[in-house]
Structure 1
């Protein structure tokens, strides 16, 4: 019985892994359950034993992807004490590991899934990305390293969303990601924490 359960678990993970690669490469509509079953070396009835339809499988692919990101970010945050270093490491990790086909994913989510599924995915996304990053800013506020959010609305969730918007604009080709990610992560971290204005400019503005 234990072997049967273990085999079922392994098959489940294999289906998700193979479906992930196919969906990310070709998009939701272009991939059929037969394509996925064939790539897994399974029959379609066996695949349907694990997932009732293609949308259910696609949702599991997205949920798994986002859960893995959430786990990784929480691990990084847990081992980082320094505010700037923590933001840098998290930003760098996202830049290196975000899906190359994220634009295709967003199109599929918008066109192929209903409002209920989109709402569920949004919750997963917030839990995976925004909540962990917001916790870094929240810790910075508590430790007095970040100014009081009431001054200009820089609340942790909003700051996290701002950083994620900066990251999302980076669409470097895959072969350049490794080379550019460190510089981009450093830039985004500096902008979020310190802005781009020089000390002399800030002093001049304060004198007005």
Structure 2
């Protein structure tokens, strides 16, 4: 039942956000009582933390695997961005808002560290490994932050639109809009 609770909670948290998801909703979908949830989890924040920890572990493993492929810089970053788009049919902005503004500071700090290690660091590593191809005035961490803003804009769209749109936006990210 533990994993089933996390599965339902993840779907609700990612669609509705932390504040608009209740343990009552989770229990109703699963056909169980709220005390059954509290047998496995201390409270809603603990469920959210476990959901995010499980998600971050999965995402981190997949991003590191994609970053290790024997492809060029652009192909790696594109593959990693498309993976996030496929795995995250929800807003990264909402997720970060929930972490920063609705959780207690200790939990927020743990989740932010998880996010940094699992989501951001694999991208930073690729940028650092390819620094010879990147303008020296561009810091990898700043570039990755901008890339996440770009990717986030294309997560909660219909599949047909978002893949093509993200591909075009990534092209602009890599090559800019000005003629040479």
What is the Cα deviation at residue 178 of structure 1? 3.0
Q: Any conservation in 1 of the 2:154–2:166 contact (CA below 8 Å)?
A: no
Structure 1 vs Structure 2 CA RMSD: 2.4
- Unmatched runs of 5 consecutive residues or more in structure 2: none
User: 3-state SS of the aligned residue for 1:113?
Assistant: coil
How far did residue 54 of structure 1 move? 0.7
Q: Identify if the C-alpha distance between structure 1 residues 111 and 163 changes in structure 2 by more than 3 Å, giving closer, same or farther.
A: closer
Show CA shifts across 1:18-77 (max 9, x none): 111122233323332232123223333332121111110011112222222212211111
Match of 1:167 among 151, 154, 157: 151
Whether 1:186 and 2:171 are equivalent positions in the alignment is: yes
TM-score norm. by structure 1 comes to 0.73
Partner of 1:73: 63
- 4+ aligned runs moved over 6 Å, structure 1: none
Matched, 1:137 2:127: yes
TM-score by length of 2: 0.82
Residues 156, 25 of structure 1: alpha-carbon distance in 2 compared, 3 angstrom cutoff: closer
Aligned mates of 1:78, 1:101 — CA distance in 2? 26
C-alpha distance in structure 1 between counterparts of 2:120 and 2:32, whole Å: 37
Q: Aligned residue for 1:37?
A: 27
In 2, the alpha carbon distance for the partners of 1:27 and 1:43 equals 22
Q: Which runs of 5+ in 1 are unaligned?
A: 1-10, 200-208
